[in-house]
Homo-oligomer: A and B are copies of this chain.
Amino acid sequence: MATNSLRIIPLGGLGEIGRNMMLIEYGDDIIVVDVGLMFPEEEMLGVDLVIPDFTYLREHRDRLRAVFLTHGHEDHVGALPYFFREFKAPVYSARLTDGLIRVKLNEHRLLQNAETHVVTPGEIITAGVFEVEFFTVAHSIPDACGLIIKTPLGQLVHTGDFKLDHTPVMDQHTDLIRLAQVGAEGCLLLMADSTYAEQEGYTPSEQLVGEALRTIFVNAQGRVIVATFASLISRVQLVIDAAVFTGRKVFVTGRSMIDNVAMARQLGYINAPDGVIVGVEEMRNLPPAKLAIVTTGSQGEPTSALTRMANGDHRHVTILKGDTIVLSSSPVPGNEQAVYRNVDNLFRLGADVLYNRVSNIHVRGHASREELKIIQGLVQPEYFMPIHGEYRHLVVHAKLAESVGVPKGNAFVLTDGDVLEIDEDSAWLGDRVPASYVYVDGLGIGDVDQHILRDRAHLSTDGVVVVMVQVDKQTGALERPAEILARGFVDVEEREDLVERTKQVVANSLKGGKHYAEFADINTRIRDAVSKFLYDETRRRPMVLTVTVEV
């Protein structure tokens, strides 16, 4: 179905946060922007990751020309190992992003499918009919970029994740001048980050955090322990700066933090004077006032270094009275309980804890409403499509765009699988393409479905009861009392009475002397009788499984 319209196909990140992925199609050519993963929501029990649905691309794999990555966060690149298991394509990204994904693809032995290229902002990549140019944006990881995509119908702007930061720590501004040029030339479609479209005003500069950290470091009598995202390289730089300023050494802990700091120093993204970063032995010999620690665990991840410290089982760091702990982050929705449990436990150990509710020690990496208006003013697109956000973020972002000049009806709120079609005259929503949640659970990709999740939810609520019966092959009569196993339901040793009466219920359910040829019937009878009995007795509904043996 090659057409002469331009087709914008979001497969992730629209109507939800994470697993950002978009296809842009014209005629026989498809380019991919980002291939991210999403962390499972509460009700996706036991699921490890959620990745985009590649069905449409699978059906049109001959059209795939190239993959473009805006930046190195997991929600934009994390599904690449699953993608390159099936597809082959050149991948374009800026230097740090390329470094991060090469490590990841190499681990999965998939580098040969990917053919990665480092792109310099301003450089133009041709992929089929498309010409793609990267431009710099400020975000919470170095080398973040947006894309200007020339198509036969006009040029598109895709902001990636961004904010405006006039004093960024890693020296990378959002390239407003280039965006103004695109606006002057004419922009067919703007696609812009909606993550903080609810937030009034401006997102503060990363520099602000630097000032707050310096004040904390100056005033702390003991150790300062800073937890943040391992990918937030600029924040680590600020901690090192504050440590140098106050004559402290820095100990780095947490697997991903250690790896990222090493990688960032090697590539020149972190600047630490010789001897500032110390190992375990040297750390042990330093007085508390001469030490700072950078750690993972700002989201309360159960096996992270900070959580181990909070639980008193970190190998090298024991929290002491006099420690100042800084959570330089805000909890990602869904992580609040885990984050605040750590805060509570750290307070219990006698530390002073500074966190987002009581201190100004984190700024976000996404643009707030006034910044979004500036982008609209510079780019002045004909059509607008909010990207990256829950559905409500997209709606308020679309309203914002209309309030500052996008013609009414030209702002399109899509969700994953919707297709925005644009031709020379107009734009409209075409037929949807598949965009289901694809769950990764252990080695299984896509084999966990709603049915399995429903069973897990049922099991999680009231547990499971297994009833095993032996019946006479001829008469269907019970050969001996049923055996009952229960897990997650009641303590069967304390409720022997309930077990005995359940056995009686099983026996009664099979009475009648009739021959039951059908095992299904026996099983259904037993299950119904036992379920009803247990509900009446306990007001709980365990999953009842029956096993029948003919003897």
What is the distance, in angstroms, from A492's C-beta to the closest C-beta of chain B?
10
Report yes or no: B45 in contact with A485, Cβ–Cβ below 8 A. no
With A15-B344, A468-B468 in contact, is A460–B494 under 8 Å at CB? no
Of A83-91, A217-225, A389-397, the one contacting chain B is: A389-397
Once A42-B42, A46-B462 are accepted as A-B contacts, the answer to whether A452 and B491 lie under 8 Å apart by CB is yes
CB neighbours (8 Å) of A358 from chain B are: 198, 396
Count of chain copies:
2
Is B538 in contact with A483, judged by CB distance below 8 angstroms?
A: no
Q: Which residues of B contact A396 (CB under 8 A)?
A: 358
Whether A463 touches B455, Cβ cut-off 8 Å, given contacts A391-B348, A487-B543, is: yes
A333 nearest CB neighbor, chain B only? B336
Which positions 100-152 of chain A face chain B at CB distance < 8 Å?
A: none
Query: Which chain B residue has the least Cβ–Cβ distance from A484?
Result: B547
Query: Which chain B residue lies CB-closest to A494?
Result: B447
Complex-state Cα separation, A155 to B468, whole angstroms? 64
Contact (Cβ within 8 A) B336 A443: no
- Flag whether A258 is at the interface (Cβ < 8 A): no
* A441 interfacial contact with B, CB 8 Å: yes
- A485 contacts which chain B residues (CB < 8 A)? 545, 547
Partner of A538, one of B15, B443, B461: B443
* Residues 454-494 of chain A, each 1 if its beta carbon lies under 8 Å from chain B, else 0: 01111111111010101000000000000101011111001
B392→A343 contact, CB < 8 A: yes
Say whether A353 faces chain B, with CB atoms less than 8 Å apart: yes
* A interface, over-half SS: mixed
Q: Are B468 and A487 in contact (CB under 8 A)?
A: no
Contact with B along A495-507 (1 / 0, CB 8 A): 1000000000000
Instruction: Give CA–CA (A495, B442) in the complex, Å.
Output: 15
Q: Which residue of B lies closest to A470 (CB)?
A: B549
Query: Which among B336, B337, B391 is the interface contact of A347 at CB below 8 angstroms?
Result: B391
Evaluate contact between B198 and A460: CB separation under 8 angstroms.
Answer: no
Q: Quick check: is A444 within 8 A (CB to CB) of the other chain?
A: yes
Q: Taking CB as reference atom, which chain B residue is nearest A461?
A: B46
Chain B proximity mask over A531-551: 1 for CB below 8 Å, otherwise 0: 000000111100101010101
Residues of A in contact with B, size category: 35 or more
Residues on the B chain within 8 Å of A461, using CB: 45-46, 456
* B487 in contact with A337 (CB, 8 Å): no
Are the CB atoms of A336 and B336 closer together than 8 Å?
yes
State whether A464 touches B487 (Cβ < 8 A): yes
Bound CA–CA A543/B489 (angstroms): 14
Q: Is A41 an interface residue (CB 8 A)?
A: yes
- Given the interface pairs A537-B443, A549-B468, the reply to whether A45 lies near B460 with Cβ below 8 Å is yes
Question: 1/0 per residue A436-450: CB within 8 Å of B?
Answer: 000001111001110
Interface contact B545-A491, CB-CB below 8 Å: no
Taken together as a complex, chains A and B put the C-alpha atoms of A355 and B391 apart, in Å, by 14
Residues of B within 8 A of A460 (CB): 45-46, 456-457, 459-460
Task: Decide yes or no whether A357 CB sits under 8 A from chain B.
Answer: yes
Q: From B46, B344, B464, B537, give the contact of A392 (CB < 8 A).
A: B344
User: Are the CB atoms of A444 and B490 closer together than 8 Å?
Assistant: yes
Expressed in whole angstroms, the Cα–Cα distance for A45 and B45 within the complex equals 12
- Which residues of A from 336 to 373 have beta carbons under 8 Å from B? 336-337, 340, 343-345, 347-348, 353, 355, 357-358
Are the CB atoms of B488 and A455 closer together than 8 Å?
yes
Tell me which of A46, A343, A345, A456 has the highest count of chain B C-beta atoms within 10 A of its own C-beta.
A46
A3–B547 Cα distance when bound, in Å, is 60
Interface-centre pick from A348, A488, A494 (highest chain B CB count, 10 A): A488
Is A315 engaged at the interface, CB distance under 8 Å to the other chain?
no
A15, A358, A447 pick with most chain B CB within 10 angstroms: A358
Decide: B545 and A487 in contact? CB cutoff 8 A.
yes
Having A46-B461, A46-B488, A459-B488, one finds 4 other A-B pairs with CB under 8 Å, namely: A447-B490, A455-B463, A458-B488, A485-B545
